[in-house]
Amino acid sequence: MNIYSVTDPEFSEFGKVLEGYDTKELISAMNSIALPEEGVSYEPWIDSLEKCSIFKPLADNAFGGMPIELGMCWGHNRSLNCLEYHRNSEINIGSCDFILLLAKQERIIDGLLDTADVKAFRVPAGVVVEVYATSLHYAPCQTTDDGFRVAVVLPRNTNTDIAKPEIKNGEDKMLWARNKWLLAHENSAEAKQGAYIGLKGENITV
């Protein structure tokens, strides 16, 4: 598939690059965390990352004073597998280049999204990227055999465990964790764990 850059105009409907943030200290802290031998790890917040000087400006400026969490998604991945969304934007910062697979929430029709609607965007190392709330996303994809490390900034307690509420509509079937609605591909590990199967078409690999 065609891989755009987040500096290309095609990215403007999915998110934007945020200027003015110094990411050097954060990247150093990210790189001090070992990669898993295989698969992907994720933690909503990591103390060593939240101690970095960028944490307060991200809360005060990028999230307008909201309580935030600064965690990381890291490991080895080249596949789509799932797409998720939140009720708010997400900020990503990679210690190396990585690829985001993105789609628009309005392309979910009758509870299903065709993976043909997914677009790929390369994010350069150290660039601060906002992914809009209406942009479906999931685990980043690596650009080299070395894997990836991507900082993830969200409102506090996002992606933590939640007692599932009574289902009132179709969207409630997608609720997978706190402030996390998930659409899984039938071939994904998440589908085998009971996640809502909402992706049809190819399980994209880059």
pLDDT per residue, tens digit, the chain (206 aa), is 899 999 999 999 999 999 999 999 999 999 999 999 999 999 999 999 999 999 999 999 999 999 999 999 999 999 999 999 999 999 999 999 999 999 999 999 999 999 999 999 999 999 999 999 999 999 999 999 999 999 999 999 999 999 999 999 999 999 999 999 999 999 999 999 999 999 999 999 99
Q: What pLDDT was estimated at residue 189?
A: 96
Q: How far apart are CA 83 and CA 24, in angstroms?
A: 29
Cβ neighbourhood burial of 165 (10 Å; 0-12, 13-18, 19+):
exposed
**Of 135, 132, 112, 102, residue with least CA distance to 183:** 112
Q: How far apart are CA 113 and CA 104, in angstroms?
A: 9
DSSP 132: P
Q: What pLDDT was estimated at residue 17?
A: 98
Alpha helices in 147-205 (DSSP H): 189-192
Residue with tokens 């909201």: 66
Specify the length of the chain in residues.
Answer: 206
Q: How far apart are CA 138 and CA 188, in angstroms?
A: 12
Pairing assessment for the beta strands 180-185 and 175-177 based on DSSP bridges: antiparallel
Dihedrals phi, psi of 30, to nearest 5 degrees: -65, -45
Contacts of 53 (CB under 8 A, 6+ apart): 22, 25
Q: How far apart are CA 114 and CA 107, in angstroms?
A: 8
Q: What pLDDT was estimated at residue 82?
A: 98
Q: What pLDDT was estimated at residue 129?
A: 98
Residue 159 exposure: Cα atoms within 13 Å on the Cβ side: 20
